[in-house]
Amino acid sequence: MTLALRLGWRNLFRNKRRTLIAGLAIGVGLASLIFTDALMQGMVAQMIKSATAAYLGEGEIHRRGFRLTQEPGLTIHDAAGVEARLEKDPDVEAFAPRAESFGMITSAAEARSVMIVGVDPSRERLLSQVDDNIRQGAFFEGSGERDIVIGNALAEILGVEPGDRIVATVSQAGSGVLAQDMFRVSGIYRFGIKEMDEGFAFVRLAKAQDMLGIGRGINEIALKFRDIRFATRKDNPFWTAYSTGGNEAVSWAVLLPQLRDALGLFWISLAFMAAILFGIVAFGIINTLFMSLYERMFEFGVLRAVGTRSAGVRRLIIFEAGALAALSIAMGLVLGLVLTLVVARTGVNYSGIEFAGTTFSEPLTPVLQVRQFVVYPLATFLFTLLVALYPARVAGRLRIADALRKSL
Amino acid sequence: MNTVEEPLIVTEGLKKDYREGGVVVPAVRGIDLRIGAGEFTVIVGPSGSGKTTFLNLISGLDSPTAGKVWLRNRPVSDMSGDALSDFRRDHIGFVFQAYNLIPVLTVRENIEYILLLQGVPDDERAARVAGILKEIGMEGFERRFPPRISGGQQQRVAIARAMVSKPELILADEPTANLDSETGSELLDMMRGLNRRTGMTFLFSTHDRMVMERADRVITLHDGRIAKDEWSRRT
């Protein structure tokens, strides 16, 4: 066995140029796969971050039925108890309670239907990015209970600036009675996302609760985890642990099915790319092994003549392919790592570009994962061995007398 | 004329036809032959006379169209697959004209290759390789690769590889064809000496007069048939 391994390894260097070209072909294929996967990981992370970090959160807790009806009367069961548990949960980095309902915002010039959200500013700052994107005014500084924060697009439609007064109207929970109150625009934010900039208005939590007539009730608790991958796992026990007492806890993947589907397409396209790359690699391997086989026909004849079984010759070809794969994988890993690290330093700038309902806010950076350096090389190795079965079969079936035609 | 009392090789009605473009070309046309154990026999004949085909049939490298081959009463012509490979490994040594050795294996690795196939233990393998290297005068060349030694030395290593497993029969196809006459002569003397000391049977295919001069027996093939079968006066 060891001699066969040595034979396979040394045979690689009989034609160094050919081995280098074949190795580079496989190595570049592997490096491309690693880089593309890393870039897609970065893109996915960025998309999830863009979609969840702005406002939504990486997960949410509601009263069951609220997501469908947006009925403000559907408040979270035992909200105080849930918040107390979240405070102690080691996986939760931050959470923000909200009371919300569709309503009407009216200025002297215009009226608009928006989502009016009551927030706890101190908690909201830790979760969403509304405070980070304030362009004029401030995000609930001081104690003004009639402060309202709106997006720049909504401000333009309403024709208002910080300090101007607007009226918010909502339908009270249960009775449906309209409740109205006057607010002063205290801050204007801009995300660059139309839905956010035009469709939301933020007021203090207590004020919203009063207007909606839900007491100290909470409609939604937005969640941020210490690791975003925690939220991505739909089978995470966290969701069932908090889906009790009529409440439901759901991941962003449930809240944003269109994004989840778009990300699914990413992985399908990666699989297609991998299939094409492996196809190219397969032809490279077969070509290399057959050239090597035909060049050394007499040698294989000698090996068979002196008593090497057909399976032994097949094994030699497989070992040779394995040696080629090992060499190629080493080249591919180095190339993939260097390429990924270089691009990770500079990033690929897609800032401001909208895709699948999210807008990239930062340059894309590839994300290195152990999987890329274990699964793909292993797959390349196994695939190379699989592809080598064909030339190995041909070598095993050589007619010895033909291989030795000019000798014995 | 001598007779073979204890035959190592027996062929009966051995025939081999090839097909070339739909035409049947007979290469061996019915050879009945007995070669005794310990003989140093040469097969000669013009190109196309069937020498190579005949040796291929004896060693099981090719299968006959008709007829039988026995080696030490074992029906070689009826064997196939792994059984035939194992039989060649254990009973027949080969020396080819050139490109005999695996260039990426050292002298030692080339010689021990067959012993590895046979599963000979490490200690015994090392001893046998060392012994055969001494016998062919190639001590100190163990770690050299074939391209780094001369053609004559390569053929010596090839002979060592053929003999190390102690087969009953050594088949040599034009072993001196690529060597100068002095080296070829030395090599033949070495093989003749090994034949006498070990009693191994040597069967050559050659055009080389030096080989014929050293042979016990010269068999001449013509058009796939035995034209002459002569024993040396020495024998």
Interval A70-97: pLDDT, tens: 999 999 999 999 999 999 999 999 999 9
A375 and A233 in a common domain: no
What A232-236 contacts at long range (C-beta under 8 Å, 24+ apart), as own/partner pairs, is A232/A48
Give all strands (DSSP E) within A237-370, no chain letters: 247-251, 354-355, 358-359
* CB proximity A86 to B under 8 Å: no
d(CA A223, CA A95): 5
Domain count, chain A: 2
Q: Which of A200, A221, A254 is the last residue in one of the domains?
A: A254
Q: DSSP characters for A114-149? A: EEEEEE-HHHHHHH-STGGGEEEE-SS-S--TTEEE
Q: ipTM for the complex?
A: 0.91
Q: Which of A114-118, A128-132, A191-195, B14-18 has the lowest mean pLDDT?
A: A191-195
Rounded to the nearest integer, the mean pLDDT of chain A is 89
Chains A and B: how many Cβ contacts under 8 Å? 82
Search chain B and give the residue with CA nearest A2: B116
pLDDT tens profile B113-157 = 999 999 999 999 999 999 999 988 888 899 999 999 988 899 889
Say yes or no: A130 and A30 in one domain.
Answer: no
The partner residue sitting opposite B114, judged by closest CB among A306, A311, A408, is: A306
The verdict on A33 and A164 lying in the same domain is no
Across the interface, whether the CB atoms of B62 and A401 are under 8 A apart is answered yes
Could you tell me the residue range of the domain that residue A374 belongs to?
Answer: 2-50+261-405
The answer to whether residues A13 and A34 belong to one domain is: yes
pLDDT at A356 over 80: no
Min distance B99 CA to chain A CA atoms (Å): 7
> Are residues A38 and A148 located together in one domain of the fold?
no
Tell me which of A214, A236, A254 is where a domain ends: A254
Q: Does A14 touch chain B (CB under 8 A)?
A: yes
Which chain A positions have a beta carbon within 8 Å of B88's beta carbon? 305-307
By the CB < 8 Å criterion, does A298 face chain B? yes
Same domain assignment for residues A241 and A285 = no
What pLDDT does residue A355 have?
A: 66
Query: Inter-chain contact B114–A7, Cβ cutoff 8 Å?
Result: no
Residues A104 and A18 occupy one common structural domain:
no
Same domain? For A24 and A43 the reply is yes
The most confident of A351-365, B44-58, B90-104, by mean pLDDT: B44-58
Task: Locate all alpha helices (DSSP H) within B11-166, ordered by sequence.
Answer: 51-59, 81-91, 107-118, 122-135, 151-163
Whether residue A148 sits in one domain with residue A13: no
Asked whether the beta carbons of residue A307 and residue B88 sit closer than 8 angstroms, the reply is yes
Contact call for B85 and A406, based on CB within 8 A: no
Across A160-171, average pLDDT: 94
Same domain, A74 and A212: yes
Distance from CA of B156 to the nearest CA of A (A): 16
Looking at A212, A238, A254, the residue that finishes a domain is A254
Q: Does the pLDDT at position B1 exceed 60?
A: no
pLDDT at residue A135 is higher than 60: yes
Is the per-residue pLDDT at A215 higher than 80? yes
CA pseudo-torsion sign B173, B179, B185, B190: negative
Q: d(Cα A395, Cα A404) in Å, to the nearest integer? A: 14
**CA–CA distance from A317 to each of A15, A136, A391, B106, B195 (Å)?**
15, 71, 7, 20, 36
Is B106 near chain A, with CB under 8 Å? no
Domain identity same for A390 and A319 = yes
pLDDT average, residue stretch A152-174: 94
Question: Do A17 and A87 belong together in one domain?
Answer: no
Q: Given pLDDT bands bounded at 50, 70 and 90, which one contains residue A407? A: very low
